[in-house]
Chains A and B, each alone.
Chain A
C-alpha cells in the first residue's frame, strides 16, 4: 500500500447551460514516501483537476466519485467539511505562480504561521520560530517572515510558498506547475529544492506539469494523461526508452532536442471534447498507429511490464498488430 493513493477517481463539472464535462475519468495511481511522481499531459487533459481532487479543492459545480486514501484512510469520503483536518497536515500544495497564491496584504510569516494555529500544531513564539526555520530550509532568511509577498522576486515567492506548504509537516506535497512562470535559472533552483526536500524530509511529491524534460529531470516515475484518462505510467526511464502508448512516444518526440539533429515532431489535431462520451480510444483520431479495434473499443490500462502500465490496444496480444512504421523512436 502506498502513502497516497487515488482509486478510480472521476470528476464531472456541471456546465452552465446543459450537460456535464467529464474532466477526470477513472484515474488511479499511488505514490510512496520519498518518491517523486510526475503527472504530465497537454493543457486540458485533466491533470490539474486530478491533483486538486486529491485535496478536494473542487468548485461547487463539480461532482466526484472514487477514493483518495492516505495510509489507507479514505480522506475524500467525508466531503468538504471532513477534508479540512487532512488539508495541509497530510497533504499540502504549492500552486503555480506564487504571485497570487500568497495573500498580498499579509506578511509571509503570518501566512506560514496561520495553518499551524488552525491545525493546532504550534502556537505563539514556537510557531514564529518554526516559520523562521522553514524559511531558512528553503533558502530564505528568517527575517523574510516580516515582509510582504510583493517585496520578493518570483523565485523567492515560490520558495516562501514551499515553506508555507511544509508548515504542518505534511506527508505528501502536491505541486501544480510550480516553475512555469519562472525563468530557467530559477526553475532549476526550485526543482533542486523540491528534490532535496523529498529526500531529506521523506516527503512524497506529485508534480503536475506539461513540461516533459522537467519531469525526466526531477521525477522517478510519471503518469501520462490524455483526455482525462491515464494513457501510460511507469518509471521515467522506461517511458523514455520503451513507451507502450503512441501518445507517450510522440510526446517525447515532440520535445525539441538541444543538439538540433533531430526533427521536431508535433502532434497534429486536438484532444477530444470531454462533454460528450467518447467511443473507443480517445487518442485514436491523432494516433499514428491506429488500427481496427481503436475506434470502437476503449483500451483498458493493463500491465505491460513490472510496474509499467499502458492503455493501448497495441499491447494486447489478442489483436493482430499492424507493422511498425519505418522510423523508430530514439
Chain B
C-alpha cells in the first residue's frame, strides 16, 4: 500500500542520514591534526590503563578503515563515545546527564513559544491589520532579530535581583539529604524560569510569523468561503476548516525546528550557566575536549534527524493527500 511504502522510505532516509552523520563525525575528528581520541592519549589525566583501553577499543594503531569499523562497533554495541580529555569520564555518561538537564528546559521553553506563537499568529490573522496584528507581528520580528544571548543578558539585567540566574545548585539527579524532593523541584523550577523565558522569547517570533502567514493563506481558500456559505458559526469555520488546514505547514515547521532547538539552546545555557548539553559543547570548545565535542555533535545531529523524521510522519498523518 502507498502508506507503508512512504513510512518505510522515510525510515530508510532517516537511517541513511544517521549513518552519514556518524561517518562525517568520524572523519572530521579523526582526519584532523590532534584527533579526538589520540588527544585523549596525550591528556595528563590519562592513566596507562586508560591509554591501553583506548588504544584497544579504538584501534589507534590500525588503519583508518579499521579504526572506522571499531568506532562503529564501539558506538553501536557499547555506546562508547570515548573518554573526556578533561576529566577522563566516559563521554556517554556525561552527555546523558547533560541531555537530561537540557530536555526539561527545552521542553518548557518550546512549549511556551509554540502556544504563544499559535495564539498570537491566529489572532493576528483573524484581526488583520488591527492593533493586535501590528503589535504581535512587530514584537515577533523584534524578538526574532535580537540575538539570543542578548535577550538572556537583558533578562539577567532586569530580573537578576528577583530570580536565581547562576548555576543550578542541585543537578537533577542529586538530592541533598536535608532537602525534600519537593523543595528540590521548586528550586530547579525557580532556576528554570529565566532561561526558559529566554528560550521562549527567542523562538516564539518565528512561530507567530509562520502561523500568521499560514492562517492568512488558508483564510483565503475557497473551502473557507464554502464553509461560510454553509452558514456555519465563525468559530467552527476558523477552527475546523481554516486552522485544521493551516496546521499542516505549521506542524511540520514546528517539528523541524525542534531538532535545531537543542542546538540553539547552547546560547541560553551559556548565559544562564545551565548544565545541559549546550554548556557541555561550550566547555568542550574552551578546553579543546575533542571526544566530548565529537560526542555532543553526534547527539545533536541525531536529534535533528529524529525530529525531521517525526515531522515527516506528522505531515503524513495530517494530510490525506500525501499517500499517492
- A in complex with B: yes
User: A residues bordering B, Cβ < 8 Å?
Assistant: 55, 57, 83-89, 92-93, 95, 97, 100-106, 114-115, 118-119, 148, 150
Closest chain-B Cβ to A131's Cβ sits at a distance in Å of 14
What are 11 contact pairs spanning A and B, CB under 8 A? A84-B233, A93-B229, A95-B225, A100-B221, A104-B223, A104-B245, A104-B319, A105-B248, A115-B232, A118-B230, A118-B233
- What is the bound-complex CA distance between A102 and B283, given in angstroms? 55
Given the interface pairs A148-B320, A148-B321, A150-B320, the reply to whether A101 lies near B231 with Cβ below 8 Å is no
The 0/1 profile, CB within 8 Å of A marked 1, for residues 290-324 of chain B is 00000000000000000000000000001111000
A84, A93, A105, A106: residue with the most chain B Cβ atoms closer than 10 Å: A105
Expressed in whole angstroms, the minimum distance between the Cβ of A171 and any Cβ of chain B is 14
CA distance A91 to B181 in the complex (A): 65
Q: When chains A and B are docked, how far (Å) is the Cα of A88 from the Cα of B221?
A: 19
* Residues of chain B within 8 A of A118, CB atoms compared: 230-233, 236
- The CA of A55 and the CA of B225, in the complex, are separated in Å by 11
- CA distance in complex: A100, B228 (Å): 14
Q: Determine if A84 and B245 form an interchain contact, defined as CB atoms under 8 angstroms apart.
A: no
Chain B residue at minimal CB-CB distance from A104: B321
User: Given B226, B233, B318, which contacts A95 in the complex, CB threshold below 8 Å?
Assistant: B226
- The CA-CA distance from A187 to B223 in the complex, in Å, is 22
Q: B223 to chain A: which residues have CB within 8 Å?
A: 100-104
Task: Say whether B222 faces chain A, with CB atoms less than 8 Å apart.
Answer: yes
Kindly identify which residue among B230, B245, B320, B321 contacts A87, using a CB–CB cutoff of 8 Å.
B230
Neighbouring B residues of A97 by C-beta, 8 Å: 222
Query: Contacts of B225 on A, CB cut-off 8 Å?
Result: 57, 95, 101
Residues of A near B248 (CB, < 8 A) are 105
Cα distance A271–B83 in the bound complex, in angstroms: 80
Contact present for B231 and A88 (CB under 8 Å) = yes
Is A103 a contact of B227 with CB atoms below 8 Å?
yes
Give 7 new A-B contacts, CB below 8 A, not counting A103-B223, A104-B320.
Answer: A55-B229, A57-B225, A84-B232, A92-B229, A103-B245, A115-B231, A148-B321
Please measure, in the bound complex, the distance between the C-alpha atom of A101 and the C-alpha atom of B232, giving whole angstroms: 15
> Given A100-B223, A118-B236, does the pair A105, B229 have CB atoms closer than 8 Å?
no
In the bound complex, how far is the Cα of B62 from the Cα of A280, in angstroms? 96
Whether the Cβ atoms of A105 and B227 lie closer than 8 Å is: no
Which residue on chain A has the smallest CB distance to residue B225? Answer: A57
Q: Report yes or no: B320 in contact with A105, Cβ–Cβ below 8 A.
A: yes
